[in-house]
Chain A
Amino acid sequence: MPTGFNLNYLIYLFQGMGWTVLLSLLAFVFGGLGGFLVMLARISRIEAVRRIANVYIQVVQGVPLLIILFIVYFGLGILGVSMPPLVAAGLALMIYCSAFLGEIWRGSVEAVPRTQTEAAECLALTRWQVLRDVVLPQAIRIATPPTVGFLVQVLKSTSLVSVIGFVELTRAAQVINNTIFQPFAIFGIAGVMYFALCYPLSLWSRILERKLNVGRR
């Protein structure tokens, strides 16, 4: 006999939300690190490196996250590289995010006027110093809105990893609904929880944008 929605279910949803947050953090942190490397590779002076990075981006962007997840989790498993679901999920999310972030950031770096690089090089700065002190600080301003926009998408996409056994927010809501069948209430609450995670991100992006715009028109 199905009973109504109670506190235990709410706790269950919050636990799911915790997984969603953890998976998103994994995606942001490792995807961000990977994305930075991909960006560096894309602007490398060595053509072969640029090409390889480009192929990586094209391939990853052209494959659904779910397929990447299956390849990492099941595919590598068959090859004898079995890994815990959390590692597999983190790896898949990293691969996925690094390609997109790498491309977003490459665009942002290249949007910084060439004359800025030139002026910095003429002051005898090394290539790395030019990037760190002159180009990246300006590129970050340009990159912030699309980066946060992408991260919000990723946060919502983490629901996909439920297929390898995670009971994150979406899956938790499904499980509860299978028991008590109150879809409006349960998915409504889950929706509010997603919103509560995503909206602060967007808000933060807007604040950051405003703050970073000081000293520049």
Chain B
Amino acid sequence: MSVAVKLEDVHKSFGAVEVLKGVSFEVAPGEVVAIIGRSGSGKSTALRCINRLEKVQSGVIEVCERQVNDAKLDLRALRQDVGIVFQSYNLFPHLTIAENIMLAPRRVKHITRAAGRALALEKLAQVGLEEKIDAYPEQLSGGQQQRVAIARSLAMSPRVMLFDEVTSALDPHLTGEVLRVMETLAKGGMTMIVVTHEMGFARRAADRVIYMHMGTVWESGSADILTNPQTPELQDFLANEL
């Protein structure tokens, strides 16, 4: 697998409004790509197209050697390869943390309950929350819930992880614990596409930074573009972020 994710001239409209206007980029296996940009620039939409929560009007999206826009796409196979974590955690409130994590592995991979619990424990250890295994989501802080959401996604052994502003709903003092989990994951070789407003995280963890502006990739490069932006739009954006 030479590319994990590839977008080529992707166009996406909601009704008459074109939100993605020819987006192209590639992500190599093991690479960590941070996507930054103003609210409304199409970052979430781009992520959602990658695991086909949204269908695109034209262009090519390839994920782990699958054509995402192909009518014959095995959607559930794609979803096994691609994990996604949302801003709003979206844990299942009626299930314990263990059940949240093992639900999909049990249903999709048909593992036993005992194996599911062991898996849950293993993934919780990865995010530092083993002691919460029998708690319900509402008993956890936002930061803890988000770490569980990451563990839940990891339990399916995805090949690519997507993160959509996963710290934006958190109190500032809780973002650190989530970002640390993501940095550890990045160091462990996970392929990650991270939509984020955390410039510090992008600088530390990203192999590459993509700046999206008005539905296009406006500027991209190594994390250096954060200190040395080439376009006035990115300069502007960075000045406002700080």
> Could you tell me which A residues sit within 8 Å of B by CB distance?
115-116, 118-126, 129, 133-134, 137-138, 141, 214-217
14 contacts between A and B (CB under 8 A): A118-B90, A119-B91, A119-B92, A120-B92, A120-B104, A122-B84, A123-B108, A124-B108, A125-B103, A125-B104, A133-B107, A138-B93, A215-B136, A216-B93
Partner of A123, one of B53, B136, B156: B156
Let me know if B107 and A215 touch, CB within 8 A: no
Partner of A216, one of B53, B94, B152, B156: B94
Question: What is the bound-complex CA distance between A95 and B91, given in angstroms?
Answer: 37
Question: What is the bound-complex CA distance between A141 and B92, given in angstroms?
Answer: 14
**Contact (A115, B92) CB under 8 Å given A125-B108, A133-B103:** no
A116, A119, A122, A214 — most chain B CB neighbours (10 Å)? A122
The smallest beta-carbon distance between B79 and chain A, in angstroms, is 4
A118, A124, A217 — most chain B CB neighbours (10 Å)? A124
Query: Which A residues are CB-close (under 8 A) to B92?
Result: 116, 119-120, 133-134, 138
Question: Total interface residues on B, using CB and 8 Å?
Answer: 26
Let me know if B153 and A137 touch, CB within 8 A: no
Q: Which of B191-205 contact A (CB under 8 A)?
A: none
Query: Which A residues are CB-close (under 8 A) to B94?
Result: 137-138, 141, 215-216
Looking across the interface, which residue of chain A has its beta carbon closest to that of B137?
A215
Is B126 at the interface (CB under 8 A from chain A)?
Answer: no
Query: Which B residues are CB-close (under 8 A) to A129?
Result: 107
The smallest beta-carbon distance between B120 and chain A, in angstroms, is 13
Let me know if A115 and B104 touch, CB within 8 A: no
Let me know if A123 and B152 touch, CB within 8 A: yes
Let me know if A122 and B79 touch, CB within 8 A: yes
Is B24 at the interface (CB under 8 A from chain A)?
Answer: no
Let me know if B79 and A217 touch, CB within 8 A: no
Question: What is the bound-complex CA distance between A217 and B138, given in angstroms?
Answer: 7
Number of A-B contacts defined by CB within 8 Å = 65
The 5 A-B residue pairs with the shortest CB-CB distance in the complex, in nearest-first order:
A123-B104, A119-B90, A215-B136, A124-B79, A124-B80
Question: What is the bound-complex CA distance between A201 and B133, given in angstroms?
Answer: 36
Question: What is the bound-complex CA distance between A91 and B153, given in angstroms?
Answer: 47
Question: What is the bound-complex CA distance between A215 and B92, given in angstroms?
Answer: 10
B88, B92, B156 — most chain A CB neighbours (10 Å)? B92
**Contact (A121, B79) CB under 8 Å given A115-B90, A133-B107:** yes
Query: Which A residues are CB-close (under 8 A) to B104?
Result: 120, 123-125
Apart from A123-B153, A125-B103, A138-B92, 5 more pairs, CB < 8 Å: A116-B90, A122-B84, A126-B107, A133-B103, A217-B138
Q: Which of B106-155 contact A (CB under 8 A)?
A: 107-108, 136, 138, 152-153
Query: Which A residues are CB-close (under 8 A) to B88?
Result: 115
Let me know if A216 and B108 touch, CB within 8 A: no
Query: Which A residues are CB-close (under 8 A) to B83?
Result: 122
Let me know if B136 and A122 touch, CB within 8 A: no
Is B72 at the interface (CB under 8 A from chain A)?
Answer: no
Question: What is the bound-complex CA distance between A215 and B136, given in angstroms?
Answer: 6
Query: Which A residues are CB-close (under 8 A) to B51?
Result: 122
Query: Which A residues are CB-close (under 8 A) to B153?
Result: 122-123
The smallest beta-carbon distance between B4 and chain A, in angstroms, is 17
Looking across the interface, which residue of chain A has its beta carbon closest to that of B138?
A217
Let me know if A122 and B107 touch, CB within 8 A: no
